[in-house]
Structure 1
């Protein structure tokens, strides 16, 4: 394949996540064991045996590795293209996207605010100020789904600690790939998502029909443990995405289908092709469901519990100089806090979306402010929450930011302990250890 071939935009949205998933399942018994634990937790959330503990928004620190070949200057995308992608993520994961009104009426009650936001890191792993963007030149003409872009030894960029940052690699991908992600439970040194530079953000090199930033929304959905909505069973209708409120469908949808599109006997409403986890064009996908949001909760309170603890990678923006990685709603179309969403959609506080859409019931548990302060674990452990009416810090109390961080830290430690216990149990059952092909 020539360089000119690689520069042509893909004609179909192709995600390599399941290829990576199957490779890891074949290579590592540890990965298989961890995935079993993660699926067990997700099933408990799905069936209501566990409820999400957090009730507030978690902010994920992001580092974007721009891996570019100097012979193709367009690959070295600009900061504005990166910022445009962060803005899209913050709209999509908060159900504040202006095209939300295009969701067919029958599915509007299922639209979910996942209560997840993203911000470019303000501090690097050494505690030094950063804009959250790493630029690395490479001699390679393209990358595949073999994770080469994630290592400097193979012409890519080494990740920042993957339990503290969401690592996003932006590069030239070959083979028609738009992107791929690693499910939770995989090797930490390759954790994160990879996106084709011309399918990243909404400006710069972003090219139709993948110029709406939805490739990153899709891949980060995988990073948060969501499967493709059709279950990757090649049209057999025998598998699904393990989420009850997404209709079973035969295969991926592409382009911009017309509602309804029926398959697998799922009439009269048919496939939920407007879901971010399908393969439709960016301009045709608009939503996550409540079931998918619950599965993301299971992931954040399990395998990715480290992101619920306030991270030193994020610092409050200066009052005189707002952070470009957290664009204001008026400037970048991000979540609007005054009750209105971009495009004139009225929002409720509990669930962004049209005012007549039902809001999800509040989940019991801690109020999360993860990632919004620079408090350290030691600070959090020594500053107690102010007691509530029952004499304890909690939902009924008036815990200040440090108290909330402390409660999040304790809850994260508890969740991590549960996960480790479950992992040990499964590993004991299978004999433990990594055995290639075992």
Structure 2
């Protein structure tokens, strides 16, 4: 198990989960793997906003202190969700049923009510966690567009670029549904970024359970993974070989895992631990991820306490 370490460099990671850019012909084969372009997005955002590095370092220090000192939120946090649908085709104009199915998945996954939660292996049963945060659909905003794809430069979040501006981003979680392009599943803005672009983006093909949702990402876990990032969770392998996700009770992972790995899957990192491949913050298929850890819950809780980056959501 990892020790909880603090690093300003690691605090710079912004999460923009996506597959590698691909041609249309390559996109079908890429659909078999979940992936991420965190560093490319990070480099762009740091160039655009040099103050971001110090702001994220401050959030990381606050989080570490809150976890150590036990200054965590008591009671239930309910987060209103605004879903912004940008569509060119009928398939992209996802139904209210599909949207509600995604909200239902978030409520199950963040409250340990998912049916596969009981599959957590005995080795990890002592650290599997009920995060205890709920979500309620607040509003659906729809906008027709001629765009075939939106990319990862936040255009979908800006009305001046044809998108939809976020609604009350300091008190409501905004989720954009659109075709991102390049085989990209979705991406999230980490705490500390601009409120004008705060929220989560999910490609319509991986949104919820019904309608356009396509296997192996048709169980709504792309949003669970991305909302985890929005709540300050790192990838479980720490975005480096045997890296650190700043959570004490998750094992060292060599790197990302894909598909649905057979258990036990051993790491070659120090101590050769069994990897927690079923954690939502790995890269497995939707059917392969079904738990958060107690350490991840503590890290999430820390951003909602007084002084935390998302305290406004706990009011």
Shorter-chain TM-score range: 0.7 to 0.9
* Secondary structure of 2:108 counterpart: helix
1:20 aligns with 2:20: no
Which of 35, 48, 59 is equivalent to 2:56? 35
Query: Which of 108, 117, 126 in structure 2 is aligned with 1:100?
Result: 117
SS of the aligned residue for 1:242 comes to coil
For 1:284, the equivalent position in structure 2 comes to 288
Structure 1: which 5+ residue stretches go unaligned? 122-131, 310-438
Any conservation in 1 of the 2:23–2:182 contact (CA below 8 Å)? Answer: no
Distance 1:266 1:197, change over 3 A: farther
Q: What CA deviation, in whole Å up to 9, does each residue of 1:83-139 have, x standing for no partner?
A: 000000000001111101111110011111111100011xxxxxxxxxx11111111
Alignment of 1:29-428 (within 5 A): 29-46=50-67, 48-52=68-72, 54-69=73-88, 72-121=89-138, 132-233=139-240, 235=241, 237=242, 239-265=243-269, 269-301=273-305, 302-309=308-315
Displacement, 1:21? 3.4
Question: Matched residues in 1 for 2:31 and 2:285: separation?
Answer: 11
Q: Distance in 1 between matches of 2:26 and 2:217?
A: 17
Contact 1:224 1:300 (8 Å CA) reproduced = no
Partner in structure 2 of residue 11 of structure 1: 32
Cα distance in 1 for partners of 2:188, 2:55 equals 17
Quote the offset at 1:17 in angstroms: 4.8
Q: What TM-score does the superposition give when structure 2 sets the normalisation length?
A: 0.88
Max radius of gyration: which structure?
A: 1
Deviations along 1:171-213, one digit per CA (max 9) or x if unpaired, are 1111121000000100111000000111110111111100000
Comparing both structures, which one devotes a greater share of its residues to strand?
Answer: 2
Q: Secondary structure at the match of 1:176?
A: coil
Contact 2:267–2:273 (Cα < 8 Å) also in 1:
no
Change (3 A) 1:240 1:50: same
Q: 1:139 aligns to what SS in structure 2?
A: coil
Which runs of at least 4 in structure 1 moved beyond 4 Å after TM superposition? 1-9, 266-269
Runs of at least 5 residues in structure 2 that lack an aligned partner in the other structure: 1-21
Q: 1:18/1:45 Cα in 2 relative to 1: closer, same or farther (>3 Å)?
A: farther
CA distance in 2, matches of 1:113, 1:288: 7
Alpha-carbon distance between aligned partners in 1 of 2:162 and 2:104, rounded to the nearest angstrom: 29
Q: Distance in 1 between matches of 2:264 and 2:271?
A: 8
Give distance in 2, aligned partners of 1:215 and 1:288. Answer: 14
Alpha-carbon distance in 2 for matches of 1:11, 1:142: 20
CA–CA separation in structure 1 for the residues paired with 2:297 and 2:48? 30
TM-score in terms of structure 1 length = 0.64
Q: Which moved more, 1:149-158 or 1:176-185?
A: 149-158
For 2:224 and 2:58, how far apart are their aligned partners in 1?
Answer: 25
1:7: Cα distance to partner? 8.3
CA-based RMSD of the aligned residues comes to 1.9
- Determine if contact 2:32/2:259 at 8 Å carries over to the other structure: no
In 1, are the aligned partners of 2:179 and 2:204 still within 8 Å (CA)? yes
Distance 1:97 1:90, change over 3 A: same
- Say if 2:254 and 2:269, in contact at 8 Å, map to a contact too: no
Equivalenced residue count is: 292
